[in-house]
Chain A
């Protein structure tokens, strides 16, 4: 027995709420059960079997929210086999347990520490250079990639079950993440230059002074953060020192 495309779409919509009730005991357990419920309703006509299936998906689950789409698709794939009597009820659980850790690591490494910061840095530079249209463009582009991958992973999980691992390996996300991180750092550097140019306002003299302030704060800040100084004190220190320095020298930032 297979479930209809409309029901799968409903499950995909619900997987966007995966972390709505994130908790330290079951983590995304309630979110996963909420997401898969329409599929279980379609697969199990017997209320007792439906409740049994739902109970097994209310157990501990934690993964990267985007990558979890692959596991959700795969869990439906296995539940179809369970409902048809081709697999024991423990298989969807072992499928989830096996994949959640590795996919969480891949998702955290690619989406959270590479793709999103890259688009964040791109949007930050764009905001300074081209204004709000650049921010909108960056956010839209990020979501084309994000939703595209989320959808592909959900479909692949559903259609291929365990073989979804091959597709994820083929995507080579860790290698791409390294490149995105390096490109993101370059964008941060370019943003520092854009800040300095904007601060100077193209005025000779003010420009050099602004460059000096921004460069000193960026350079000293980078070294301080690299040595483990916490972010908040560093940020406060930069703002307060900059202000005090200007107040003491009588410089108002406009030479």
Chain B
């Protein structure tokens, strides 16, 4: 049931990401908690949301350029972490997050290849629409536009659960075989989160971004440490 839900969430996110709406619902920050919620662990999904959003902050469709498929990667990573947490009975831990990330994130690259394939298929749809119009079927011609939503849905619905399955299986087996890795992997997750913040700052391409990033991080850290805030 969990994998079916993952497939539906990933499929809908793939459609929202480009073909319909584009209202930020397929961005990692929204999609990760939604995926967690679908699997019964909203908190687990939320734990992965912020670093994934910043990691892929620059994944945008500029002109004809194809970015990585951040929605597919997100569902695979969150699905892997949550399912592994449920299998081990620990819930989502930093160690599971980093293992699910290492195993599931490449799906974002595979998704980009799939997007190219979809574009070629859509070209045939457009040609078919022109033919329909030549044969005086205008309504049928333009409605072919909606058929373009089917393939991104199907591809994401198949790939995301498969990615989550691989990620959760690897994470569970590794932690069962080497439970001592839990601590070091926790540190690996922190390091990844730091890199993700830097990736977000770089992706924004602001003037003097390095200075703004460093100063704001230091100021927020100082305030947090003085006030003893633990987010």
Contacts and interface: CB of A to CB of B under 8 A. Distances in A.
Interface of A: 16-17, 19-27, 29-31, 33-34, 37, 47, 50-51, 54-55, 58, 62, 65-66, 104, 108, 112-114, 116-121, 123-125, 127-129, 131-132, 135, 138-139, 142-143, 146-147, 178, 181-182, 184-202, 207, 210-211, 213-219, 221-222, 225-226, 231-232, 234-236, 238-247, 251-254
Interface footprint category on B: 35 or more
A196 B193 CA distance: 9
B166 interface: no
A243 B184 contact: yes
Interface of B: 18-25, 27, 29-30, 33, 42, 46, 49-51, 53-55, 57-58, 60-64, 94, 98, 101-102, 105-106, 109, 119-120, 122-123, 125-127, 129-130, 133, 136, 138-139, 141-149, 181-210, 212-221, 224-225, 228-231
B221 A197 contact: yes
A23 B49 contact: no
A185 B215 CA distance: 10
A26 B123 CA distance: 8
A223 B204 CA distance: 15
Given A222-B213, A247-B184, A253 B141 contact: no
B144 A242 contact: no
Contact of B190 (A117, A127, A195): A195
Contact of B203 (A24, A117, A146, A247): A117
Given A123-B29, A182-B206, A225-B198, A24 B230 contact: no
Contact of B129 (A30, A129, A186): A30
Contacts of B191: 213-214, 216-217, 238-239, 241-243
Given A192-B194, A193-B221, A104 B63 contact: yes
Contacts of B20: 16-17, 19-20
27 contacts: A22-B122, A25-B123, A26-B123, A30-B145, A37-B142, A113-B204, A120-B24, A121-B200, A135-B29, A146-B24, A178-B207, A181-B209, A182-B212, A185-B206, A189-B215, A193-B224, A195-B51, A207-B225, A213-B190, A217-B192, A218-B194, A218-B195, A226-B210, A242-B189, A243-B187, A245-B187, A246-B184
A20 B193 contact: no
A131 to B, nearest CB: 7
Contacts of A66: 22
Given A17-B20, A51-B138, A65-B22, 11 more contacts: A21-B125, A22-B18, A118-B204, A120-B53, A132-B42, A194-B231, A197-B229, A217-B191, A218-B198, A238-B188, A246-B188
Nearest to B50: A124
A191 B219 CA distance: 11
Contact of B216 (A142, A185, A215): A185
A201 B25 CA distance: 30
Contact of A239 (B57, B102, B147): B102
Contact of B50 (A27, A31, A118, A128): A128
A190 B216 contact: yes
Contact of A30 (B125, B185, B197): B125
Interface core residue of B18, B201, B214, B225 (most chain A CB under 10 Å): B201
A127 B197 contact: no
B209 A128 contact: no
B130 A189 contact: no
A133 to B, nearest CB: 11
